[in-house]
Chain A
Amino acid sequence: MPNAQPLPVAVRPAAPRARPPRRVNVWLHVALLPLALTALLAYLASTVWTVALSFTGSRMFPSSRFVGLAQYERLFASERWSIAIDNLLFFAVFSILLCTLVGFLLAVFIDQKIRAESLFRSIFLYPFALSMVVTGLVWQWVLNPEMGLQAAVRDWGWQSFTLDWIVSEDKVMYCVVLAGVWNGSGFMMALLLAGLRGVDEEVWKAARLDGIPVWRTYFSIVLPMLSGTVATALTLQLIGSIKVYDVVVAMTRGGPGLASEVPARFIMENIGSRSNLGQAAAASTVLLVTAVALLVPYHYLRKHQAAKSGHGA
C-alpha cells in the first residue's frame, strides 16, 4: 500500500513535539475506528447482504427463499430494464464527453489571464452549486412546451416554433443530458483549471520559443501532462453517471412512457411501490459489477503511473 505510508509523515509535524509519535498513531487509529466500522458494517456488509438478497424471492420484506438466478433472468427479460441500461449508456457517453469538452474549453478560456477571472469562474461553477433536483426542475420548466421556452417564443409571435423534446420519447434523453452537462461542466472546468495552473511556465516559454501555436501546445503538450487530472475527472463523472437518479426524477420521472428510465430509478421503484426487493437487489448487483468492471482498469492505470513516477524520483 503506497498510499498508507505518507500519512504518519503528514501528521507528525502538526502534532505537539513533546508527545512520542507512537501514541499519536494509536489515537489516530482509535479516531479512525468509527469510520472503519461504518465502512465495514454499513457499506461492505450491506453490499454483501444485497448480493445475497438478489438470489432470493424477497418481495416486500427480505426473505431467505432461494430462487437461484430467477431474479436475474427476469431482470434481463424486462423491457424496462433494457431501456434503462440503454439510457444509462447514452447518458454516460454523451454527458461525460460533453462535460469534459465544455469544461476543458472553459478552463482554457479562463487560463488566458482574462480580466475578472474570479467572476467568470464563479459564474461557470455556479450550476454545480445547485442540486440535481433543482437543475432538473428548472430545465423541466424551461423545456415544457406548454409553459416554457416554446410557449414564450410563440407568444412573441413565432407561431411555428417547436421545442418539445422533453415530451417526445425519442428525444427526451437529449434533455436529460443537457441538464447534466449544464450542471457538471463547471466542476470539470474547476478541476482542469487546477491542472492547467500546475503546468510549469517554462513549458509555455519553451513552446513559444519553438514557435508552436497555442492550440497545438494545449493539445500536444499540456493535455498529455494533465492525463492524471483528466483520468480523475472521467472517473468522477463515470460514478456520477452510473448513479444518475435525481435529475431524471425531477425532470421526467422516467417518461414519457419508459423513454427516460434509468437503472437507479428502476431499483428505487422496485424497493418501494413494486415491493420487489429481490428484483431491486439483482439490479443493484448488476450495477455494482458494472461499476467495478469500469473502475478496476482505472485503478491499475493509476498504480502503473505511480510506479513509473516512483522510478523517476
Chain B
Amino acid sequence: MSSHRPRPRIATAHAVAALVLVLAGWLTIAGTAAAQTAEVIHWWTSKGESAAVNELAAAYRKAGGTWVDTAIAGGDNARNLALTRMAGGKPPTVTQFNASLQFHEIIEEGLLNTIDAVAVPQGWDRLLPEPLRNFVKVGGHYWAVPVNIHNTNWFWYSKAVLAKAGVTAEPANMDEFFVALDKVKASGAIALSLGGQGWQELMLFNAVLHAAGGQDLYRRFYTSADGAVALTPEFKKVLADFKRLKNYVDRGSPNRDWNVASALIIADKAGFQVMGDFVKAEFEAARKVAGRDYGCFAGFGPKAPFVIDGDVFVFPKSPDPQVVRAQQLFAKVIMSKEAQVAFNRKKGSVPVRADVDMGEVDLCTALGLAGLRDPSRHVPSVEQMVAPEKNAAIGDAITEFWNTRQTVDRAARALAASLRM
C-alpha cells in the first residue's frame, strides 16, 4: 500500500502547477486587455481566406490594437460558438456574422452593442450601398460593420473546355445557356459542375430564378406570405428550367464540396459552375488568370440582377469601456480604405464603400465593381428577406425536387407551403 502513496501527491502537485499556469496565462490575457484587445471569431479558414483576414489583423495591429484570432472552420460552427458564448456571458469582442435575419434576432435579444459612435461621424449613410445599409442599420442604429460585398450569382467557366466545345460567346439568356451546355456535354466534358449539397442546389436555383425569372419574380417569390406566386406559370417555368439543368450534371455530384466542384473547372474537366465569388480565391490559389484561363459573368447580360450579400462583424454587448473602445477601433479599421482594398483584393470580393480605388483589378473584380455601381441591378440576398427556418424549408423543397422524380407541380405546391410558414 505504502508504495502507492507518493503517486497521488505527485499527481496533485502536477495538477496544482497546471492550474497555476492556466491562471497565470489567463491573468496575462486579462492584463493585456488594457491595450484594446479584440478577440475575433470568424470562419475564414481556407488558404485564400486566411490570407485575407491576416490583412485585417495587420491593419488592426497597425492602429495600435491587439488581435486575438479565433478561427473556426464552417460558418455554422463559428456562429454557434459565438451565440453560445454570448448567451453564456463570455462573448468575444467581435464576431463575424452573415447578413441574415438571424442578426435581427440577436438585436432583439439585446445581445449587441451599437456602433453608431463610429458610423455616424464617418457618414455610413453616404458610404454604404443601399441594400447593405438597410441591413446593418436596424431601428435607426448601426449594429454591424460590413466588410465585403459578395454576389452569389456568378457563372464561372473554363475557357479551354468552352473553346474545345465550340462555345464562342458567353450565353446572354437561359436558352443560350442550354445551347452552350449541350455543346460542352457533347464534347465529353462535364457540362455543369455542381456540388450536390442542399445549399449549393439552392444557390443554383436562385441563379435560375434571377436569370430566367428576373428581379421582380425573385423579390415576389421570397417576400410572398401566401405562396400564391409559387403556383404561377412563370414560376413553374423557372422550376422546369432548373430541373432541366440536372441533365448536365455528372453522377459524382452528390455531396461534393464547392471547392472540389471548382477544381473540376480549374482542371478543365468541366464547363460551367454557378457559385459565389469566393470561388475566385480557388482560381487565384491555382494561379489561374481571369480572362485567360477562366471566364466569369454575374448573371446574363449587362443588366442582370446583382445580389448584395456580405459578411459583417457584430459587437457582442459589453459594459466594459475597454471592450467598447476595442470594438470601435475595430469598426474604424475595417471601414478604412486601406483595409478594404487589402482585404478584398485577397478575398476576391468587392469593397463595401464605392469611393475606394481598388487599383489594377482583374476582369472579374471589374465586373463586380461595375455591378456595385449600378443600383438598378441591386437585389438583397435571400437571407435578408426570409427567416432561417423558412429559408431552410424552401431549401428542403428544392433539394427534394432536384434529387427525386418529383413533378414540377408537386414541387410548386411544396414551395407554396414553405412560403406560408
Whole-angstrom distance from the CB of A213 to the nearest CB of chain B? 48
Among A16, A59, A147, A257, residue most surrounded by chain B Cβ atoms (within 10 Å): A257
Whole-angstrom distance from the CB of A219 to the nearest CB of chain B? 42
Contact at A255–B76, with CB atoms within 8 Å? Answer: no
With a cutoff of 8 Å between Cβ atoms, the chain B residues found around residue A255 in the complex are 196-198, 254-255, 399, 403
| Chain B contacts with A in 100-133, Cβ cutoff 8 A | 102, 105-106, 109
Q: Name the contact of B404 in the complex, choosing from A145, A257, A275 (C-beta under 8 A).
A: A257
Q: Cα distance A167–B402 when bound, in Å? A: 13
The residue of chain A having its C-beta at the shortest distance from the C-beta of B256 within the complex is A146
A161: Cβ under 8 A from any B Cβ? no
B interface, how many residues as a size bin?
20 to 34
Q: Cα distance A273–B402 when bound, in Å? A: 21
Q: Cα distance A145–B388 when bound, in Å? A: 33
With a cutoff of 8 Å between Cβ atoms, the chain B residues found around residue A272 in the complex are 76-77, 79-80
With a cutoff of 8 Å between Cβ atoms, the chain B residues found around residue A252 in the complex are 254-255
| Interface mask (B82-95 → A, CB under 8 Å = 1, otherwise 0) | 01000100000000
Contact at B399–A257, with CB atoms within 8 Å? Answer: yes
A236: Cβ under 8 A from any B Cβ? no
| Interface mask (A241-280 → B, CB under 8 Å = 1, otherwise 0) | 0000000000011111111000000000101111110010
B252: Cβ under 8 A from any A Cβ? yes
A79: Cβ under 8 A from any B Cβ? yes
Contact at A146–B388, with CB atoms within 8 Å? Answer: no
| Interface mask (B223-255 → A, CB under 8 Å = 1, otherwise 0) | 000000000000000000000000000111111
Q: Name the contact of B389 in the complex, choosing from A169, A257, A275 (C-beta under 8 A).
A: A275
From known contacts A60-B102, A255-B255, A256-B254, infer whether A274 and B392 are also in contact, taking CB-CB under 8 Å: yes
Q: A59-B105, A169-B403, A257-B399 are in contact. List 6 more A-B contacts (CB 8 A).
A: A60-B106, A146-B252, A166-B254, A255-B196, A273-B76, A279-B389
Can you sample 28 A-B contacts with CB below 8 Å?
Answer: A59-B389, A60-B102, A60-B109, A61-B83, A61-B109, A79-B414, A164-B251, A167-B196, A167-B255, A169-B403, A253-B197, A253-B255, A254-B198, A255-B196, A255-B197, A255-B255, A256-B254, A256-B255, A259-B404, A269-B392, A271-B80, A272-B76, A272-B77, A272-B79, A273-B392, A274-B388, A275-B388, A276-B392
- 5 closest Cβ contacts across the A-B interface? A257-B403, A146-B252, A256-B254, A167-B254, A274-B392
